[in-house]
Chain A
Amino acid sequence: MGSLDQQTLPAALKARGVSRRQFVKFCSTMVATLALPPRYLGAVVKAMESARRPVLVWLEFQDCAGNSESMLRTSNPTVTEFVLDLLSWEYHETIMAGAGKQAEAALERVVREHKGEYIAVVEGAIPTADDGVYCTIAGRTALEIARHVCSSAAASIAVGACAWDGGLVRANPNPTGAVGLQEAVPGIKVVNLGGCPHNPANTAAVLVHYLTFHEMPALDQYNRPLFAYGNIIHDQCERRAHYDAGRYVEEWGDEGHRKGWCLYKMGCKGPEATFNCPVVRWNDGTSWPVKSGHGCIACASHRFWDNKSPFYKRLPQVPGFGVDVTAEKIGWVALGAMAGAAAAQAIGSTIRKKVRPPEASEGPTKPSSSPEA
């Protein structure tokens, strides 16, 4: 991890042997990811060249380090390298060299010396039950650390589903009372980058946007950047034509699956989910879940473990019924019951007509029982 010297990005890149060509390629990737017009490339390059590398601290709470891994795994010096060099990373439990008191002292130093200037990235949910004892680091609870660090930051970025809305940790029954960052520390400026994990290209784009325009990109109602979370996966999917045509995978490994047909009937949540997954993709733009033959599980949607499961069925389970009872089954049983009741009524009414005493047939109703008589 770097020291607190405020090196510029080109100097840092030069030290790592990254050519200017690669640098401009990275900038144009970011312009495309942000859905900016190409003419912004110059502005982005200029901003990146002159930007003094802002300080960044990366906090991990109830997480699996999947977002850190997603950030680090790459084969070429692409997005990851640039992001690592774009900012001065002062604290990141998984990758920092320091440990114990030294590491915590580095975090404290950032909060003290760069108050209101640094960027805090949070990964993982924050437990709130029982005073937050379910996640403590260096003797302090995650809640305390998040309040302390994020409230002094210029901006906070919640990466991954857990930091955004609690993710897997918060899934029913949520024994630790886990919540996302913006619920745990209300009132701070947060950008949520949901997804399990987040897509590092989007995170890099948010940082580039911040360095270029000195503000966060346009956000939706969940404080997620619109450039990444504004469109439905279904509308960007390369298998969409199969959906419209009516060609569906019906079973794993069947003819349709081998031919790459639509995974709608296998419970793909593409029509329900928004993300730029099909465009940005993963692992250096190699693939994404649907391309590799598995339905989308809507990992970038709000509280997707509870809302989008079962992942292999079209509709959620109806609460209060068994796990194998689908909404459709309930519907058909109700219809059968109605038909049965109608049949029983028909038989009863036929008998009633036959045995009805003649004096009852005289008037339409008995005077004593007629409400308006």
Chain B
Amino acid sequence: MTEMHGGSRQISGPYQLAPGRTRIYVWEKPVRFAHWLLVLSLVVLSVTGYYIYNPFVISRGRAAYVMGTARFIHLVAAWAFIAAILVRFYWFFRGNRWARINQFIPTRRERWQDAVETVKYYMFRRWNPTPRIGHNALAGATYTLIFGIAVIEIITGLALYNNVVHSKCLGLLVGWVPRLADIQWLREIHFLVMFALWFFFIHHMYSVLLAASEEKNGCVEGMVSGYKFVTQADLQREFGTRPGGEKSEPVRAVRQTPAAGKVSG
């Protein structure tokens, strides 16, 4: 938490900031940890999960244990996925202003307008992107959707798993699920959500690369280092220049970024 400061800090090192850019700590460790754990577990879950649906390798050895191994890896990766989701959900309420839940579910009118502007940008109705220090509102809403289907994937996955292990604890959590839909439909949903996540993966890769080339704020590296390189305009929009402009922002988050006021003022 001590690193929670914005950009007027001097950076030592062999590199220099581009003119007009400020280095700002955006993605905290739990955010980055959850992000990359999700990526890793999703890749593993997809490969093993697709194999479980359609065992494309037919083994012939006498001691082969291909499906057994695939299922074991799938289960381990599933728990990692659940852990990553839980960490990220916890950070909705403990994280900095860019990690918080209000960045995801667009409850404020400005966020909706912001999302509309971004849609306009994607539809070529606007010349410029809509850079934000954290997520733009459209990205936030998309991630809300993704977290939603990740929860669906977890619930259907646990219900399918409990069909095998008959655990009392899991039964308390997901015992109601097979009463709503037959196990075959749970499998179908579980399978189609995998495609939805791949769908998102393509979209996410494209959007990140587009944003990186348009906004040049280091949004790809930012998910590794935690820092982004933002413009004065970005800071102004985020923290406001008019007196009292900060009042609409979460107080705690503003307090944790003391340098921001200095920069924007």
Contacts and interface: CB of A to CB of B under 8 A. Distances in A.
Interface of A: 221, 232, 235, 243-248, 250, 256, 264-265, 269, 272, 301-303, 307-308, 314-316, 318, 327-328, 330-332, 334-335, 338-339, 342, 345-346, 348-349, 352-353, 356-357, 360-361, 363-366, 369-373
B68 A244 contact: yes
A316 B183 CA distance: 11
Contacts of A307: 182, 184-185
A30 to B, nearest CB: 25
A364 B233 contact: yes
Interface residues of B, number: 51
Interface string B177-210: 0010011110110011011001100110010001
Contacts of B113: 371
A350 to B, nearest CB: 9
Contacts of B41: none
Contacts of A269: 184
B192 A364 contact: no
B67 A245 contact: yes
Given A361-B128, A364-B231, A371-B117, A232 B55 contact: no
A330 B192 contact: yes
6 contacts: A244-B65, A330-B195, A331-B191, A353-B214, A371-B113, A373-B237
Contacts of A265: 54-55
By secondary structure, the B interface counts as helix
A300 B231 CA distance: 65
A273 B179 CA distance: 15
Contacts of A346: 206, 210
Nearest to A359: B127
Nearest to B111: A371
A246 B67 contact: yes
B183 A315 contact: no
B18 interface: no
Contact of B68 (A245, A302, A316, A371): A245
A245 B60 CA distance: 8
Contacts of B130: 364-365
Given A307-B182, A349-B214, A372 B110 contact: yes
Interface of B: 53-55, 57-61, 64-68, 70, 110, 113-114, 117, 122, 124, 126-131, 163-164, 179, 182-185, 187-188, 191-192, 194-195, 198-199, 202-203, 206, 210, 213-214, 231, 233-234, 237
Given A338-B199, A372-B237, A360 B53 contact: no
Nearest to A250: B58
Contacts of A356: 127-128
Contacts of B53: 314-315, 328
Contacts of B65: 244-246
Given A334-B199, A345-B210, A369-B117, A318 B188 contact: yes
Nearest to B194: A331
Nearest to B68: A244
Given A248-B55, A364-B234, A232 B163 contact: yes
A339 B203 CA distance: 8
Contact of A338 (B183, B203, B213): B203
A330 B70 CA distance: 24
A346 B122 CA distance: 10
Contact of A360 (B61, B127, B183, B214): B127
Given A338-B199, A365-B126, 11 more contacts: A246-B55, A246-B58, A246-B67, A248-B58, A265-B54, A301-B182, A307-B185, A315-B184, A353-B213, A363-B128, A364-B130
Given A246-B58, A335-B199, A272 B237 contact: no
A315 B188 contact: yes
Given A314-B54, A315-B53, A372-B114, A245 B59 contact: yes
Point out which of B124, B127, B206 has the most chain A C-beta atoms below 10 A from its C-beta. B127
A314 B59 CA distance: 20
B198 to A, nearest CB: 6
A246 B54 CA distance: 11
A346 B124 CA distance: 11
A253 B131 CA distance: 61
A346 B212 CA distance: 13
Contacts of A232: 163-164
A356 B110 CA distance: 26
B19 to A, nearest CB: 14
A342 B206 contact: yes
A335 B195 contact: yes
